[in-house]
């Protein structure tokens, strides 16, 4: 009798955990679905709203990449925060605790996301300039030094033992001997970091 009672109590303890797991999975599924639908909707919109004065395939391609950058810089943080809140309310029901926790996460992601998005876009400009034609890299903080910008774009540089930092130092020492004119460009830290990152990706 006691054994049966113990089994029943254990089963009762497992069901709430299963319910929480299913709700978390539901949140993830809904959140990813909202992001995916938004991405497809934006691609459709961008394809159907190309300015008429852009006629060559190269001009259209540059426009789409720049429009994508504008979309992510201007709207992605807000959409990410909104989708976190919506998915949480659907998965965990609109309760005060849900509003509090989901609201905190939404605000946190709203403020954390923009610098990360800007860094990703700037890295893409540096690695694939052919995508953007003569367009400039999105504006970064003006008081930022080249060294600070390189670390912001490639955070692994701040770790002295990271593969990127070791490759950066190796190339720095090599260029100091073989290509000293390379360092006449004030933006050499960012350029060297980009070269080091690309080299590691192709190994």
Flag whether pLDDT at 32 surpasses 90: yes
Pick from 153, 155, 151, 199: nearest CA to 175? 199
- Flag whether 137 is in a domain: no
Task: Please indicate, yes or no, whether residues 83 and 170 belong to a single structural domain of this protein.
Answer: no
Task: Please indicate, yes or no, whether residues 95 and 164 belong to a single structural domain of this protein.
Answer: no
Pick from 24, 19, 31, 25: nearest CA to 86? 31
In 74-198, DSSP assigns E strands to none
Taking CA 196 as the corner, what is the angle to CA 184 and CA 185, rounded to the nearest 5 degrees?
A: 10
The confidence band for 96, taking pLDDT boundaries of 50, 70 and 90, is very high
Task: Please indicate, yes or no, whether residues 117 and 37 belong to a single structural domain of this protein.
Answer: yes
**Cα–Cα distance measured from residue 131 to residue 8, given in angstroms and rounded to the nearest whole number:** 63
DSSP state of 180: G
In 111-191, DSSP assigns E strands to none
The confidence band for 71, taking pLDDT boundaries of 50, 70 and 90, is confident
- Flag whether 66 is in a domain: yes
More confident residue, 59 or 84: 84
- Flag whether 32 is in a domain: yes
Task: Please indicate, yes or no, whether residues 89 and 175 belong to a single structural domain of this protein.
Answer: no
Predicted confidence at residue 131, as pLDDT, reads 83
The pTM of this model reads 0.65
Flag whether pLDDT at 79 surpasses 70: yes
φ, ψ for residue 108, nearest 5 deg: -60, -50
Query: What tens digit of pLDDT does each residue of 50-61 get?
Result: 888 778 888 888
Task: Please indicate, yes or no, whether residues 188 and 106 belong to a single structural domain of this protein.
Answer: no
For tokens 């807000």, what's the residue? 78
Q: Is the torsion defined by CA of 76, 71, 35, 86 positive or negative?
A: positive
More confident residue, 13 or 63: 63
- Flag whether 136 is in a domain: no
The domain tally of the chain equals 2
- Flag whether 142 is in a domain: no
More confident residue, 15 or 108: 108
Pick from 138, 127, 45, 34: nearest CA to 86? 34
Task: Please indicate, yes or no, whether residues 125 and 156 belong to a single structural domain of this protein.
Answer: no
Query: What tens digit of pLDDT does each residue of 112-167 get?
Result: 998 888 888 888 888 888 888 766 655 555 567 888 888 888 888 888 889 999 99
Predicted confidence at residue 26, as pLDDT, reads 92
Is there a contact between 160 and 93 (Cβ–Cβ < 8 Å)? no
Report residue 99 as tokens: 């509003």
Predicted confidence at residue 53, as pLDDT, reads 77
Burial class from Cβ neighbours inside 10 Å (0-12, 13-18, 19+) for residue 145 reads: exposed
Q: What percent of the chain has pLDDT over 70?
A: 88
Q: Which domain holds residue 165?
A: 147-201
Predicted confidence at residue 3, as pLDDT, reads 47
The confidence band for 201, taking pLDDT boundaries of 50, 70 and 90, is confident
| Range from 7-11, 132-136, 145-149, 184-188 that averages highest in pLDDT | 184-188
The confidence band for 8, taking pLDDT boundaries of 50, 70 and 90, is very low
Predicted confidence at residue 36, as pLDDT, reads 93
- Show which of 96, 131, 166 is a domain's final residue: 131
Round the average pLDDT of the chain to a whole number and report it. 84
């Amino acid at each position: 009798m006691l054994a049966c009672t113990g089994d029943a109590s254990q089963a009762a303890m497992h069901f709430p955990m299963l319910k929480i797991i299913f709700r978390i999975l539901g949140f993830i599924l809904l959140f990813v679905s909202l992001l995916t639908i938004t991405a497809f909707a934006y691609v459709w919109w961008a394809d159907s709203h190309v300015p008429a004065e852009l006629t060559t395939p190269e001009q259209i391609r540059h426009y789409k990449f720049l429009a994508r950058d504008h979309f992510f810089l201007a709207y992605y943080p807000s959409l990410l925060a909104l989708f976190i809140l919506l998915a949480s309310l659907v998965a965990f029901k609109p309760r005060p605790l849900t509003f509090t926790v989901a609201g905190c996460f939404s605000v946190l992601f709203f403020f954390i996301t923009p610098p990360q998005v800007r860094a990703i876009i700037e890295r893409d400009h540096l690695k694939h300039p052919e995508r953007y034609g003569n367009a400039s890299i999105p504006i970064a903080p003006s008081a930022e030094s080249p060294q600070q910008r390189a670390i912001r774009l490639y955070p692994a540089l701040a770790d002295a033992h990271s593969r990127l930092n070791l490759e950066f130092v190796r190339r720095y020492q090599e260029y100091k001997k073989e290509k000293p004119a390379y360092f006449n460009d004030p933006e050499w830290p960012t350029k060297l970091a980009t070269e080091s990152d690309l080299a590691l990706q192709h190994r």
